[in-house]
Amino acid sequence: MAKAGTTRTQRIRERLLIDGEVEFAALAAEFGVSEMTVRRDIDSLESEGLVRKVIGGAIALSKISEPTFEARSGLDVTSKKHVAEYAVSQLSPHETVVLDSGSTAFAVAHAIRGRGLGLTIITPSLLVATELRSEPDTTLLLTGGLLRPGELSLIGIEAVESFRRYNCDTFIMGVAGIHARRGFTDYHRDESAVKRAAIDASDRLIVLADRSKVGRAQLSSIAPLSAAEIIVTDAAPDSPALESASAAGVSVVTVPGPSEIANEAAS
């Protein structure tokens, strides 16, 4: 039980880093424990000076602007797997595909392995390229650019200009926010510039985002919701952001989230 409690507390810590706030009832439902158990987890984080309890939940005392790659990779692993697998199912053999940087794009790269699609893949992510380095019949093209430590992504004018040389079929993009009015957004201005260049170079855009990103707007704008052909998420389809996307002609695909996955496992 100690190990499960430690893992749960770490997940709550990471959720606070990303969302800035949590609700006791929602966490209890997500983890299948009592609200009292969640309150004890929050007490532990409060003793570290990381959070402050408020009515019905807690807020982070020092929300960072962008969670680390490691923190994002550890969140909702099963949901990311489902989102990634659906995205790969939309690809045709021998397409030219742009794979974004970030933890969700890395999950897509893993899902591509063993499919025998014979893709040409252009990416600003060293992690994506490494994941697919041994995939048979796959052509890998890395953009140029300045390396972001931690993310291991390539940014800057060289990365942006790389996409001006290519005509691509599909761009699979991760985002930090999907907002009804603000559209698709990200934490980092240079990352957003690379994403915009990839959108311009591609015939269609598939956007992947877990539920924590839906309804949020981050610092840097990428594109309006109408730029996407498909959004794949584990968020509720009746959220205002996703309803706005549907109204703009975007196909919104919902995959099982953690609570649905837990219910299926228990049944």
pLDDT digits (tens, 9 = 90+) for 197-232: 999 999 999 999 988 889 888 889 999 999 999 999
Architecture of domain 71-260: 3-Layer(aba) Sandwich (3.40)
Closest to 99 measured CA to CA, from 14, 53, 166, 52: 166
| Cα-to-chain-centroid distance, residue 23 | 21
> What's phi and psi for 225, nearest 5 deg?
-60, -35
Q: Which CATH number is 2-60's, of 3.40.50.300, 3.40.1550.10, 1.10.10.10, 3.10.450.50?
A: 1.10.10.10
Pick from 3-7, 15-19, 206-210, 242-246: least confident: 3-7
| Residue pair 99/109 in contact by the 8 Å Cβ criterion | yes
Instruction: Give the tens place of pLDDT for each residue, 168-202.
Output: 999 999 998 999 999 999 988 999 999 999 999 99
| Residue pair 213/183 in contact by the 8 Å Cβ criterion | no
The reported pLDDT for the residue numbered 13 is 80
Asked if pLDDT for residue 74 goes beyond 50, the answer is no
| Residue pair 174/102 in contact by the 8 Å Cβ criterion | yes
Give the CA count within 13 Å in the CB-facing half-sphere of 156.
Answer: 9
**Residues found in the chain:** 267
Tally helices (H) and strands (E) across the chain: 11, 15
Tell me how far apart the alpha carbons of residues 147 and 168 are, in angstroms, rounded to a whole number.
23
> Where do the domains of the chain lie?
2-60, 71-260
For the chain, state the CA radius of gyration.
Answer: 19
